[in-house]
């Protein structure tokens, strides 16, 4: 790709052979209605399934497709960071492989690109929408968890964990090079670093489709996130992110 992409899309993938086609097909349709160059980086996180084989089938269909096949499993945070640091786009988005937030929702984020260097999708603000309602346990647990995270690390953000976040190129590089978390709680750390370095954050309502096959446990993983939010709080106090 000779010219700088307008938009880089990072897709972390671990055991996504059955679902990654959802995002890639959606990107193909998105490209048809947009005239700016798009770069797509699929970063395979040491996955044991055939995610690579599925991704390879799209090389001729997505012009700006790049596949990073890392053999060692390091976690979602490490994987997103690797994609971000290699991305060349003027704006850099990371999204989930199952297209839980339809890729065309990025247009909602792009509306704020000139004023805000960090624009994030949100399920829990007024304009956000859960297309498939979650169970009472998952919904209540998620809201309570986010309240604790806001108190400990990222005040004012209603939805820290939505996997649909966009950054201006240089801002993404500055934030992610300081990131230390390798697994799921990396979103908390990324937003805390952005806030610490005075980057304005815009939370934008998006439509989100819950995955009934999600392996995230509201209780087990929730406690881990609370612990990690506390760690972020301590790291800020220690000056680690400066």
**Whole-angstrom Cα distance, residue 90 to residue 235?**
30
3-state secondary structure 10-76: EEEECCCCCCHHHHHHHHHHHHHCCCCCEEEEEEEECCCCCHHHHHHCCCCCCCCEEEEEECCCCCH
Please answer whether residues 158 and 125 qualify as being in contact, where contact means their C-beta atoms are separated by less than 8 angstroms: yes
What are the angstrom distances between the C-alpha of 133 and each of 51, 96, 157, 212? 28, 19, 21, 10
Q: What is the DSSP letter of 211?
A: -
Same domain, 75 and 42: yes
Q: Of 99, 128, 153, which residue constitutes the final position of a domain?
A: 99
**Whole-angstrom Cα distance, residue 77 to residue 57?**
26
Please answer whether residues 63 and 24 qualify as being in contact, where contact means their C-beta atoms are separated by less than 8 angstroms: no
Same domain, 155 and 236: yes
In a domain? residue 107 = no
In a domain? residue 197 = yes
233: Cβ–Cβ under 8 A, 6 or more apart, which residues? 152, 153
In a domain? residue 114 = no
Q: Of 44, 67, 99, which residue constitutes the final position of a domain?
A: 99
**Whole-angstrom Cα distance, residue 100 to residue 210?**
7
* Separate counts of helices (H) and strands (E) for the chain: 8, 9
Same domain, 123 and 25: no
- Number of domains composing the chain: 2
Same domain, 85 and 123: no
Same domain, 94 and 125: no
pLDDT of residue 137: 66
In a domain? residue 49 = yes
Same domain, 215 and 175: yes
Same domain, 183 and 212: yes
**What backbone torsions phi and psi does residue 39 show, to the nearest 5 degrees?**
-110, 135
Domain housing 8: 1-99
Print pLDDT tens along the chain (242 aa): 568 999 999 999 999 999 999 999 999 999 999 999 999 999 999 999 999 999 999 999 999 999 999 999 999 999 999 999 999 999 999 999 999 999 999 999 999 999 999 999 999 899 998 887 766 666 666 778 888 898 999 999 999 989 999 999 999 999 999 999 998 899 999 999 999 999 999 999 999 997 665 555 556 677 888 999 999 999 999 999 99
pLDDT of residue 216: 59
**Whole-angstrom Cα distance, residue 236 to residue 233?**
5
Same domain, 222 and 182: yes
CATH of the domain at 79: 3.90.550.10
Q: Of 99, 127, 149, which residue constitutes the final position of a domain?
A: 99
In a domain? residue 110 = no
Same domain, 213 and 124: yes
pLDDT of residue 2: 64
Same domain, 144 and 90: no
pLDDT of residue 103: 98
pTM of the model as a whole? 0.93
In a domain? residue 104 = no
């Amino acid at each position: 790709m000779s010219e700088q992409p307008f938009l880089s899309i990072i897709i972390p993938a671990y055991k996504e052979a059955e679902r990654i086609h959802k995002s890639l097909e959606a990107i193909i349709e998105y490209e048809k209605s947009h005239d700016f160059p798009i770069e797509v980086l699929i970063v395979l996180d040491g996955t044991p399934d055939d995610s690579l084989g599925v991704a390879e089938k799209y090389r001729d269909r997505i012009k700006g497709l790049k596949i990073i096949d890392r053999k060692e499993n390091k976690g979602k945070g490490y994987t997103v960071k690797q994609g971000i640091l290699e991305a060349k786009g003027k704006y850099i988005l990371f999204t989930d492989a199952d297209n839980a937030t339809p890729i065309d929702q990025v247009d909602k984020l792009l509306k704020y690109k000139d004023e805000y260097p960090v624009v994030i999708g949100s399920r829990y603000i007024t304009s956000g929408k859960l297309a498939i309602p979650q169970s009472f346990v998952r919904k209540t647990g998620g809201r309570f968890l986010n309240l604790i995270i806001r108190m400990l690390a990222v005040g004012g953000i209603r939805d820290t964990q939505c996997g649909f976040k966009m950054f201006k190129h240089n801002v993404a590089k500055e934030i992610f090079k300081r990131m230390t978390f390798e697994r799921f709680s990396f979103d908390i750390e990324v937003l805390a670093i952005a806030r610490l370095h005075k980057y304005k954050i815009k939370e934008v309502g998006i439509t989100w489709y819950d995955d009934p096959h999600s392996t995230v446990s509201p209780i087990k993983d929730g406690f881990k996130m609370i612990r990690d939010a506390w760690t972020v709080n301590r790291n800020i106090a220690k000056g680690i992110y400066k």
